[in-house]
Amino acid sequence: MKRGFIGVIILSLLLTCSCTQKAKTADVKQSDSKVELGIVRHPPAASYSRGKMTGLPSFNPNSEDNWQVDLRSYDISDLSLADRLKDLKYADFDSKTVWPKNLPKEFDKDKIMELGKNPGLGIRELHSKGITGKGVGVAIIDQQLLVDHTEYKDRLRYYDEIHIDNGTPAQMHGPAVASIAVGKNVGVAPEADLYYIAETHGDFKDGGFDWDFTWLAKSIDRILEVNKSLENDKKIRVISISVGWSKEQKGYKEVTEAVKRAKKEGILVVSSSIHETYKFNFQGLGRDILNDPESPSSYEPGIFWKNEYLKKPDLLKTSDYLLIPMDSRTVASPTGEEDYVFYRNGGWSWSIPYISGLYALACQVNPDITPEKFWEAALSTGDIIDYKNDNKTYKFGTIVNPKKLMDKIEKK
């Protein structure tokens, strides 16, 4: 499944860069004393200003293009969509999308948005039992954050920026991953403490982008510096980074060494390069827009790798891969403090903060848990389902089962 993995890493990188503006090279502030926690800047909300849409795009299941039916912040009120269900089922939309009255009856936009907020698979039941990530620190390194979004503003303990143009507004990626990890409605660990660094993994030059992961390495080291200032019962236990790196890219050695330093401090670093850094394998799950996110049977291969899986299903070994929710997620939008956006096609970028939030729950129920024991337990407690497609049935899994996972690792 090599091509699929390369594709998802590229998708993750594209999502990370999709709305980033030109970054400037900024000095990394160094501190010889205890880090002062706080928020260094409040990036303004993003404004897409997209106006009226003159025609609904069509979805091509054989295309690898992203944003095929992108309705975010568009006014589509003049369009006739009663017969466009096939395309609407793959639409991305947000709180500022202006809808027509003649939507297909099978397309309930409000229900789709609400279902997408649910992290699913029993996570909310764990919350009702007090398993919320309380007392656990989660760090995220990503794009500029809309720091006052209602999903996570009460959880944000620290926000800083490294290698960022100070004039840029909040970006699409940061609010999404923060809400998936610790959001009060959307998140896996809604009472975990959030420590966030906005950072750009390189520079925009001559119409292109030059990767430089030395900035990511500096950001990881900043997180470690912050962690030293925290009380023992409030430590950061996981860093979520929705990007991957390769040996051919500048800064590969630096970021690899920084991850090793984090591991020595007992911190799990979840990234698109997690197989290289931990030998862990995961893949992202798809879900039809109106299927119940609580039921394992609602899930299927993610949109970006479904076609490849159906050609070679034996390449995904159920005993080796942990499958994590990815597609059809509603997350915090950068366009306003109470705005949300539904992404039909996720990419690993959305699975990585989910794993990070899940690890925060694990650290709450068992502070002695290690990444290796966590991953082993997740694989051993996950679900294998019968996935049916075109009159064929496949053994599909291992789908993470958060409730069984917590039961297995809980410190008695």
Q: Cβ(375)–Cβ(364) under 8 Å? A: no
| Distance between CA atoms of residues 323 and 308, nearest Å | 16
Q: Is 349 a catalytic residue?
A: yes
Whether 233 sits among the annotated catalytic residues: the reply is no
Distances (CA, A) of 146 to 23, 174, 207, 226: 17, 8, 26, 21
> Quick check: 209 and 243 in contact, CB under 8 A?
no
Q: Are 355 and 316 in contact (CB under 8 A)?
A: no
Helix 371-381, helix 348-365: angle, nearest 10: 100
Q: Report the alpha-carbon angle 74-76-81, nearest 5.
A: 140
| Torsions phi, psi for 171 (to 5 deg) | -110, 170
Does the annotation count 173 as an active-site position? yes
The active-site residue, picked from 70, 94, 142, 212, is: 142
| From 127, 149, 163, 173, active-site residue | 173
- Among 271, 349, 351, 356, which one carries the catalytic annotation? 349
H or E segment to which residue 384 belongs? strand 383-389
Question: What torsion, rounded to 10 degrees, do the Cα atoms 25, 31, 37, 42 define?
Answer: -20
Side-chain half-sphere exposure of 350, counting CA atoms within 13 A = 30
With beta carbons less than 8 A apart as the criterion, state whether 323 and 398 touch.
yes
DSSP-derived secondary structure letter, 297: G
The two tokens of residue 249 are: 């890219």
Cα 226 to chain centroid, rounded: 23
DSSP 303-319: TTTHHHHHH-GGGS-TT
Measured CA to CA, the distance from residue 54 to residue 44 in angstroms comes to 29
The CA distance from 79 to 196, in Å, is 40
The catalytic residue positions are 142, 173, 349
